[in-house]
Amino acid sequence: MKSFSGLLLAGVAAAVPTSLTAEADAPAAAIKCPIVFDGRIPSTLALSAFDSSGSGSPFGADYVKGNDLKWSDILLLPTVPTSRFDGAVNGTATPFKAVEVTLSDKSIFQKQNGFRRAGLQFNGDTNTGSPGWTGIKTLHFSVKQDPQRPLNLSHEYLNVWHEASDYSADQIMFQTGTLIDQSGLPKNTFKVLSRSNKLLWSTPMDTSDWQNFAFTLDFNKNTVQVYYSKGTDPLASVLKATADDLTGAGEYQIGILKKPTGTSDVVNSGFQESGLKEGQIYGGIFLEDSANGCVSL
Ligand SMILES: *[C@@H]1O[C@H](CO)[C@@H](O)[C@H](O)[C@H]1NC(C)=O
Ligand SMILES: *[C@@H]1O[C@H](CO)[C@@H](O)[C@H](O)[C@H]1NC(C)=O
Ligand 2 atom at minimum distance from 260 CA: 5
Ligand 1 atom at minimum distance from 93 CA: 14
Supply the pLDDT for residue 4.
35
The Cβ of residue 21 has, within 10 Å, a number of other Cβ atoms equal to 9
CA 3 to centroid of ligand 1, rounded, Å: 6
- The answer to whether 163 touches 179, Cβ cutoff 8 Å, is no
- The answer to whether 80 touches 281, Cβ cutoff 8 Å, is yes
In 3D space, the residue among 184, 160, 149 whose CA is nearest the CA of residue 257 turns out to be 160
CA distance 104 to 69: 10
Determine the residue of 90, 94, 96, 296 to mutate for testing ligand 1's pocket, defined as the one with the most ligand atoms within 8 A of the Cβ atom. 90
DSSP code per residue over 61-114: SSSSS-TT--HHHHEE-------TTTS-GGGTSPPEE-EEEEE-TT---TT-TT
Supply the pLDDT for residue 213.
98
Question: Which residues fall within 8 angstroms of residue 36, CB to CB, at 6 or more apart?
Answer: 131, 132, 137, 287, 288, 289
| Residue owning the nearest CA to atom 2 of ligand 1 | 3
Ligand 1 atom at minimum distance from 30 CA: 13
| Amino acid symbol at 283 | G
- The answer to whether 156 touches 180, Cβ cutoff 8 Å, is yes
CA distance 33 to 289: 6
| Residue owning the nearest CA to atom 4 of ligand 2 | 154
Supply the pLDDT for residue 11.
36
Domains (ranges, CATH) in the chain?
A: 37-293 (2.60.120.1160)
List pLDDT tens digits, range 150-187.
999 999 999 999 999 999 999 999 999 999 999 899 99
Judge if the beta carbon of residue 89 lies within 6 A of ligand 1.
yes
CA 207 to centroid of ligand 2, rounded, Å: 19
Ligand 2 site, CB within 6 A = 152, 154-155, 261, 271, 273
- The answer to whether 137 touches 111, Cβ cutoff 8 Å, is no
CA distance 147 to 214: 24
Alpha-carbon distances of 3 from 11, 89, 157, rounded to whole Å? 14, 9, 40
- Overall size of the chain counted in residues: 297
- The answer to whether 286 touches 31, Cβ cutoff 8 Å, is yes
pLDDT beneath 50, residues of the chain: 1-22
Supply the pLDDT for residue 23.
63
Identify the three-state secondary structure at position 188.
coil
| Residue owning the nearest CA to atom 12 of ligand 2 | 152
CA 90 to centroid of ligand 1, rounded, Å: 6
DSSP code per residue over 238-294: EEEEEE----S--EEEEEEEEPPBS-S-TTT-SB--SS--EEEEEEEEEEEE-GGG-
| Residue owning the nearest CA to atom 14 of ligand 2 | 273
